[in-house]
Amino acid sequence: MTATIQQRLQHLRHALLDLHKTLVDSERVTYEQTFGAIPSPSQFLQLLTNDSWFAWLHPISQLIVAMDEALDEKEPLTQAVMESFAQQTRKLLVATETGDGFSKDYFDALQRDPDVVFAHAAVARLLNLKN
């Protein structure tokens, strides 16, 4: 059963990683439309980690890092750990039209970019699986 739990977490992590990349790419397009082209990959990395424009993405980055750490643990993963990550993901990926923070920015990304919708749907499908 442990291998199944580990595989489920790996699948969820991979889907979140795809969603994260899609969000980053989408935000980069919007940023460049507003401020102009980002001249280099290193400058983009600096913006991604330090600029307030991209700060709303940090919670999803932190969740992926936490999953990486859990997968690297010597102790076998438990169903409780897997369910905790699933709950954290469900809670994080709630989009709201009003307010601020991740939920509002996530809503905006879903509205403007169909690729974000498809990546979100891939995560949602995994979260709906019961086994």
pLDDT at position 129 is: 55
Confirm if 108 and 56 have CB atoms less than 8 A apart. no
pLDDT at position 13 is: 97
Predicted TM-score (pTM) of the model is: 0.92
* pLDDT mean values, one per 10 residues, the chain (131 residues): 80 97 97 96 96 96 97 92 96 92 96 97 85 36
Instruction: Tell me which amino acid residue 28 is.
Output: R
pLDDT at position 7 is: 93
Tokens standing for 122? Answer: 């891939």
pLDDT at position 1 is: 44
